[in-house]
Structures are given as C-alpha cells and as structure tokens.
C-alpha cells in the first residue's frame, strides 16, 4: 500500500480548495478528491491522511474532511474502516470533464459578453508585424541578451513620456518596470510587501477575483473595503497596502471622487500604507477625458500599474509598473529572480508603435468602436430590462446591470450560459459572496450588430430568475 505523502497534501497549488460559486467547502473537497482519484493521480490502494490530519493541512474543520470522506465512500471511491487510514478504492480511471471554468472545455458561446476582454480582432496586425520585423532586423545584439530586468530603456523612455501626457503620471524611465501584464506587476509588488513583513492587503469589494487569489496565494491576509458611487470607501481602511482602480473601478464602473482621492492619500501619509493603482482600462472613457492617475498626485505613495491587455491584446503580456524610487531596486531584483526580464523585441516594437503615434491612433479607433457598442447595449438594456439600471460611468468594456438585493446573479449567469450567453455575476467578484447583486455584461467582443439580439436572448434566459 502506498501512502500519499504529506508533501503531496501540503502542496498548496495541488490541493488548494477553490470552491466554485455557491459550492460548500465539503463539496469542493469531495470534488477535488474525486477528480484526483478518477484522473489517476490518487491511485487505487493509496492511503490518505486521517480526516483530522487532512483538515489541519487544508485549514478546514474536521467535519468538512470527514463528511467528504464519508460521501466518497458512499460513492465507492474510498474504503473506510475504523482506526485505519482511508484507502483509495479501485475505480475506472476516467478523466472527468474539465471543470466548467476551464476555457478549453467550454464551447464558444453564441454571444460572448465576457466583461474583461477586448475585441482582439481589432489588433493592428500589420502595424505590429512591421514594428516587430523592424525590431528583429535593427535591434542591437544586446537586445537579444539578458539585460536590465526593468526592460528595454527605449520602451521605458516612451512610456514615461506617454504616461505623463495621457495619464498625468510623473516618473523617470528609471522608475518603470516592464512586466508580463498587470498581473505580474501585482505579484511583484505583493512579494515585495511580504518581504518587508507586510501582512494585510486590502482590495475594493467587489474587485477582480484573480487579485484576491494572488493576495491569498502569497500568504497575505485579504481585506475587502466597500465601494459606492464615489469609488472606494476609505473610512475604516486598515491595511499595509490597498489595490484600487480609481479611474474606473472594476467591476462597478465607479470613479474615485476628488474627496476620496484626497482621503486615500491622507490615509497613506498617516499610516504609511502603499497604494497600488490598477489603471487597467483608463484609455476607454467615452463621455470625457479620463480622470488623471492618482500617482501624479503623490508619486511616493503610489505604485501605478498599466497594461496593453485592453488596448492591444491580452496575449502580448506587456504591462508596466511605475514605482516610487525606494521600491525600484527591490522590485527590479524580484523581476530578475522570477524571469530575468520580459521579452525585449516585443518591447522595442511597442516603443516604435508609441513613437510613431500608431498606438494612440489605434486606441482612438478602438474607443470609437467600443463607444458605439456601449451606447447600443445601454439602450437595449433599458428596453428589455426597464426596471433595472446600469451603474457606472461611460467607460471600459463592460456595464454593470444592477439587480435587486437577494437576486441570484449566479443562477442568472448559469441560465444565460445554458442559452449560449456568457456574462458574469457581480457577486463572483465580492470577497464573501454577500455583496450587491448584478450582472456584468461585456461589449468588448459583442459586435454592434449583435447587441439587440444578444440582450433579447439574455432577457429570455434570465427573466424566469428575475420573477
Ligand atoms: C481589473 C483588471 N486589472 C488588471 C487587468 C490586467 O491584467 P493583465 O495586464 O495581467 O492581463 C485586468 C484584465 O482583465 C483587469 O480586468
């Protein structure tokens, strides 16, 4: 008999419990173990830890572990005997269909209204190909070598100018670190915080769920801070750092008001807390110029994160951090430790697009497309859902349709999914799933000609849930 090693059960990434929406910890543990048994990573005859040990290793109550074991025994996956370790039973090793969250296993929806994705068909392929070809031809040999972990100086110099001009960011190229998307930027900052014994990181509640996982995944405490029409509510904020999206709060679409900006900076000055500004989609404001970056008001207190994920394409994985002087060295060292540096030729290509004005021209074109789609979407929502309102300013790539308190937005997301429509549930972005209810409806991928049909289909799918 083989014993499942403690390492196997201690391996957080392998055994971490990630309950799906509405799923209990017990159900999640049961599913995780059943999947491992069926996929063959827990083979017949393997001894599992006692329910007490498993519970301690996973940080759940003993009842959760013993109930999951009992259920798996009833289903024939485990053999349980008193005073003996549970043993994996012989079952046909069939790969379970991948979890519903696994993109590859999900058929393409009829109407893709994912809130976080841009229209990648707008990507300026020819311009990019030309810029990349020029970079390959003309870049000095040094550009093919290891180099400064902060990235290409050519790109950092262009970004310093461009971010100053378009976002009011104040920095020298030295303070910029080119990263693999804003996601890696946040990862670096969280690691640097952890290295200085920071323990607690706050986020807006609701906010991007992946950021919650990143914070918890690095062993930091996650704290949620509520959001209203003026953005993050600063009162009561207690943390070593806070992640905010001031220009366009994700996912509600609120803009951080002037008073709240002052309050947040005062908070940072008082307690030394770091502000991490996620400026993920400020390029897409449709009714006026976007509000300027918070970083420009106090560059010593704010780490600014930007990305090309919405403006060009998520798969480029090009983003940037603008960091206070004191954080340049530790963050550059962490970037080097993780992956040396981001691919240089692509950085040079992007620098050329910016320098030639093509980047801004592309953004202007995309902005016009998204603006039309948004206007149509807001109009169609008003016609089909007359009792509900759209929250947030005219910006970004999605709108939030507010639902009455207690509405089952997860259920609506599911019903929409079954009808071939992809939308997200607002409560999926809240920390404890107890916040406001709403549907997040993206128009990045929804062609303007399809908007009416998509909203009509959405209404048909979710109307029964609305009552
Ligand atoms: C709120 C928010 N922040 C940041 C990002 C950017 O992530 P990345 O640049 O790593 O693709 C996204 C992308 O979906 C986002 O929705």
161-181: average pLDDT:
97
What's the gap in Å between 280 CA and the centre of ligand 1? 6
1-17: average pLDDT:
55
Q: Which CATH class is domain 6-101?
A: mainly alpha
331-352: average pLDDT:
98
Ligand 1 atom 16: residue of nearest CA: 116
Residue 13, pLDDT score? 39
The whole-model pTM stands at 0.79
Peptide bond into 121 cis (omega under 30): no
What's the gap in Å between 192 CA and the centre of ligand 1? 20
pLDDT tier, 176 (very low <50, low <70, confident <90, very high otherwise): very high
User: What's the CA gap between 174 and 419, in Å, rounded?
Assistant: 50
* Each residue's pLDDT tens digit, 83-93: 888 998 887 66
* Each residue's pLDDT tens digit, 394-417: 999 999 999 998 899 999 999 999
pLDDT tier, 12 (very low <50, low <70, confident <90, very high otherwise): very low
Average pLDDT score, the chain: 92
- pLDDT of 346 > 90? The answer is yes
Own/partner contacts of 211-218, CB < 8 Å, gap of 24 or more, are 211/186, 211/243, 211/278, 212/431, 213/18, 214/183, 214/186, 214/187, 214/190, 215/190, 217/12, 217/16, 218/187, 218/190, 218/191, 218/194
Query: Which of 103, 114, 116, 320 has most ligand 1 atoms within 8 Å of CB, for mutation?
Result: 116
Domain boundaries, the chain: 6-101, 111-122+361-466, 125-356
Residues with CB under 6 A from ligand 1: 116, 181-183, 208, 245, 250, 278, 280, 307, 309, 314, 319
Residue 393, pLDDT score? 93
Q: Which CATH class is domain 125-356?
A: alpha beta
User: What's the CA gap between 29 and 47, in Å, rounded?
Assistant: 17
Is 111-122+361-466 a CATH 3.30.70.20 domain? no
Residue 103, pLDDT score? 47
Residue 205, pLDDT score? 97
Residue 100, pLDDT score? 47
């Amino acid at each position: 008999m083989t014993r499942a090693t403690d390492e196997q059960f201690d391996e957080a990434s392998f055994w971490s419990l990630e309950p799906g929406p509405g799923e209990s910890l017990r159900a999640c543990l049961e599913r995780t173990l059943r999947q491992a048994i069926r996929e063959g990573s827990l083979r017949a005859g393997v001894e599992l830890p006692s329910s007490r040990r498993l519970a301690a290793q996973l940080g759940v109550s003993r009842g959760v572990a013993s109930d999951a074991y009992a259920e798996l025994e009833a289903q024939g996956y485990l053999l349980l005997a008193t005073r003996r370790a549970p043993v994996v039973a012989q079952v046909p090793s069939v790969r379970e269909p991948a979890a519903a969250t696994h993109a590859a296993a999900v058929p393409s929806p009829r109407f893709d209204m994912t809130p976080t994705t841009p229209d990648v068909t707008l990507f300026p392929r020819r311009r990019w190909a030309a810029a990349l070809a020029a970079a390959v031809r003309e870049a000095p040999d040094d550009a093919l070598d290891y180099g400064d972990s902060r990235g290409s100086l050519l790109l950092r110099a262009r970004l310093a100018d461009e971010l100053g001009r378009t976002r009011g960011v104040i920095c020298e190229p030295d303070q910029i670190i080119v990263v693999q998307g804003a996601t890696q930027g946040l990862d670096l900052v969280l690691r640097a915080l952890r290295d200085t014994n920071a323990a607690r990181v706050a986020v807006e509640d609701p906010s991007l769920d992946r950021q919650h996982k990143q914070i918890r995944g690095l062993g930091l405490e996650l704290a949620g801070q509520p959001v209203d029409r003026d953005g993050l509510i600063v009162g009561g904020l207690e943390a070593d750092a806070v992640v905010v999206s001031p220009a366009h709060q994700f996912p509600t679409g609120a803009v951080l008001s002037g008073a709240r900006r002052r309050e947040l900076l005062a908070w940072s000055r008082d307690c030394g807390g770091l502000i991490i500004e996620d400026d993920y989609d400020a390029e897409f404001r449709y009714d006026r110029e976007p509000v300027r970056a918070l970083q420009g008001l106090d560059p010593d207190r704010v780490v600014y994160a930007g990305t090309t994920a919405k403006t060009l394409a998520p798969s480029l994985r090009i983003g940037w951090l603008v960091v206070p002087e004191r954080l340049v060295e530790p963050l550059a060292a962490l970037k080097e430790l993780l992956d040396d540096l981001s691919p240089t030729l692509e950085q040079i290509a992007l620098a050329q697009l910016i320098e030639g004005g093509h980047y801004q021209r592309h953004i202007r074109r995309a902005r016009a497309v998204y603006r039309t789609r948004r206007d149509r979407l807001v109009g169609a929502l008003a016609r089909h859902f007359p009792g509900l309102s759209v929250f947030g300013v005219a910006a970004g790539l999605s709108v939030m349709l507010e639902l009455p308190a207690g509405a089952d937005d997860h259920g609506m997301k599911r019903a929409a999914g079954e009808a071939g429509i992809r939308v997200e549930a607002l409560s999926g972005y809240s920390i404890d799933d107890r916040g406001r209810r709403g549907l997040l409806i993206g128009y990045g991928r929804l062609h303007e000609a399809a908007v009416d049909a998509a909203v009509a289909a959405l209404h048909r799918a979710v109307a029964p849930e609305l009552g």
